[in-house]
Amino acid sequence: MSATQRRQHLVGGLHVDPMPTRASRKRKRSTEKVGTIAVCCGGGMQSSAFTGDDFEPIAGIDIKKEYGPCFSKNNGGAPLVECDLMKMTKKWALQFKKDHDVEKYDKVVILASLDCSLASPANGKKLTKPEKIAWYEEAIARLKIFTDALETGHKRVYMFHEFLDDADVIELLQETYPEIHKTETTHHIFEDRRRAYLCQRYDED
């Protein structure tokens, strides 16, 4: 008997366990509790799309606490936690995980929309390319500290990034999060600029 056969539940040489199908996997996912955390959340318009029966907002994280009431209104009452991403530490992230009982969720989705001002010509600043890259290297490294801390134990974290389709920044994100898939759009609802949407650990089912 092969190793594969020994692992299978057979009766009289026949399979008795149902084979997993796309439909059965979808039913399993429908019973899972998926929590969302919005990083650099602002008023929470992006994260407001991840609500309803399939998602439960855990919290938003932003440097400006005045966005709190707007974020909570858009995200089912979830709180905004004041934090400067550029000062993120593993200790802070682990405390956040404990305070918001992140472990109770079957899956966690991090919705990240990094400050795009330094990558945009609309900001009016005259940054050199090395200066821009250095800032985003640090910002993405701090984001990685947060996501790694949430993954301690057996927790799996999924990422959804929205950003300008800036090749320099997208390359940094792809280097930091190898399990990432990119989709781009030619226009944005509010402006005529290319946008990029990146999903880590994307499941085609």
Return the closest-CA partner of residue 146 out of 197, 187, 85. Answer: 85
| Model confidence pLDDT, tens digit, residues 127-141 | 788 988 999 999 999
Distance of CA 168 to CAs 17, 84, 135, Å?
49, 23, 11
Q: From CA 29, how far away is CA 81, in angstroms rounded?
A: 28
Contact 67, 43 (CB under 8 A): yes
Strands (E), 4-87: 10-11, 14-15, 34-39, 56-62, 80-82
pLDDT value at residue 11: 55
| Model confidence pLDDT, tens digit, residues 155-167 | 778 989 888 888 8
Prediction pTM value: 0.78
Give 118's strand partners.
Answer: none
| Model confidence pLDDT, tens digit, residues 32-69 | 889 999 999 988 888 888 877 889 999 999 999 999 99
SS3 11: strand
DSSP 74-114: HTTTPPEEE--GGG--HHHHHHHHHHTTGGGSSEEEEEE--
